[in-house]
Structures are given as C-alpha cells and as structure tokens.
Amino acid sequence: MTRPRVLWVAALTLFAVACESRVLRTGATSEKAGCFFRLSAGWHNLEGNGSDWWRWTDKTGKVTVTAAQRSEVVLAGELFSWRQPNTVDVVLNGTTAATVNVTWDRFGPFKPIPLSLKAGTNTIAFVSHKPAVTTAQDPRPLAVAVKNLSLTMDTKDACVLEP
C-alpha cells in the first residue's frame, strides 16, 4: 500500500525539481535570486506534462512571493479559462495590478505584468470573474488555470519557484 504513495511523492519531487531547475536556468541561484514564490491557497493539485506545469482554481488562486527587498518584477505565464470569454484580475497585495481578458480556448500567454513588490511577503491573486464548472470527466470545480508562471526581477534574475 505504501508503494503507490512513495512513487507519487517521488514523481512530484522530480517534477518540482524540474520546475525549479527550469526557473534557475535563467541565471538565478537561490543565493542571488532575492525572491522566492510558491502557489499557495486556492489551487487544485499540481499537474504537468514534461517540463510544463499548471494548476487550476475554482475562483481565486494565490501566489505567495517573498522578496528580500523592494523589487520591480515582471509576471509572465499562460492562462486558460474553462469558460470564454472570461476576465481574470491579477491582484497584488489587495490592489488590482492588471486585468486579463481570456478569449482563447486553450492555454495562451498573457501580456507580461509589471509588479512592485514590497520587502517581505507579497500575495498575488488570480481572480476569475466567471464561476467554476464541473464536468462528467472532471468533478473538480474549474474556473481558470495558470501555467509555467515566472517572476523576473529588474536585475533580470528570476525569482525562484519553491516546490
């Protein structure tokens, strides 16, 4: 009985390492990155294919970013909305930083979003205007998904994705 769980944990660990090394390939190291981020509250389990990863939310998914100092960063990645068109607000520390109109019917890149991080803990929320849906194939409530999120600091160093 423990074998499937061990395999699942091993696969998830390998996947997290692959994601982290993908971010680190931009030249950042844990010591010089200056910021770290992780998908925190409101997300379904991690999914992926090869080096790509994504997570679904039913309404609001949060990303916690820890910055060593005030930093200018650029948020990039892809969005998918189960229902189109949909509006997704990107909210930094309670203030709407950008609004993305999702009109495409699969994952698609959103325009890079500049953000001003404060020193310490920051919260980025992705908020769907349309409600979640469930399907016969997937009983989870699904509104929007993010894929391959990245944060790049003004120094061109990448923030490190924490598994």
Question: Measured in whole angstroms, how far is the alpha carbon of residue 122 from the centre of its chain?
Answer: 14
Q: Is the pLDDT of residue 21 over 90?
A: no
At a CB cut-off of 8 Å and minimum separation 6, what does 96 contact?
89, 90
What is the token pair recorded at 143?
Answer: 């509104």
pLDDT of residue 155: 79
Place 33 in a pLDDT band, splitting at 50, 70 and 90: low
Round to whole Å and give the CA distance between 84 and 104: 7
- Backbone phi, psi, residue 134, to 5°: -120, 155
Place 154 in a pLDDT band, splitting at 50, 70 and 90: confident
How many percent of the chain have pLDDT more than 70? 79
Average pLDDT, the chain: 84
- How many domains does the structure of the chain reveal? 1
Round to whole Å and give the CA distance between 154 and 163: 23
Q: What is the rounded average pLDDT of the residues 25-49?
A: 76
* Pairing label, strands 144-153, 52-57: antiparallel
pLDDT of residue 163: 64
Place 156 in a pLDDT band, splitting at 50, 70 and 90: confident
Nearest Cα to Cα of residue 20 among 148, 106, 129, 133:
148
pLDDT of residue 22: 38
Instruction: Tell me the CA end-to-end span of the chain in Å, nearest whole number.
Output: 25
Q: Tell me the per-residue pLDDT of 106-117, one tens digit each, with 9 for 90 and over.
A: 999 999 999 999
Q: What is the rounded average pLDDT of the residues 25-33?
A: 42
What is the token pair recorded at 150?
Answer: 């990245």
Helix residue ranges, H only, 49-100: none
Q: Tell me the per-residue pLDDT of 55-108, one tens digit each, with 9 for 90 and over.
A: 999 999 999 999 999 999 999 999 999 999 999 999 999 999 999 999 999 999
With residue 50 as reference, give the H or E element that holds it: none
CATH of the domain at 118: 2.60.120.260
pLDDT of residue 112: 97
User: Which residues constitute the domain of residue 147?
Assistant: 2-161
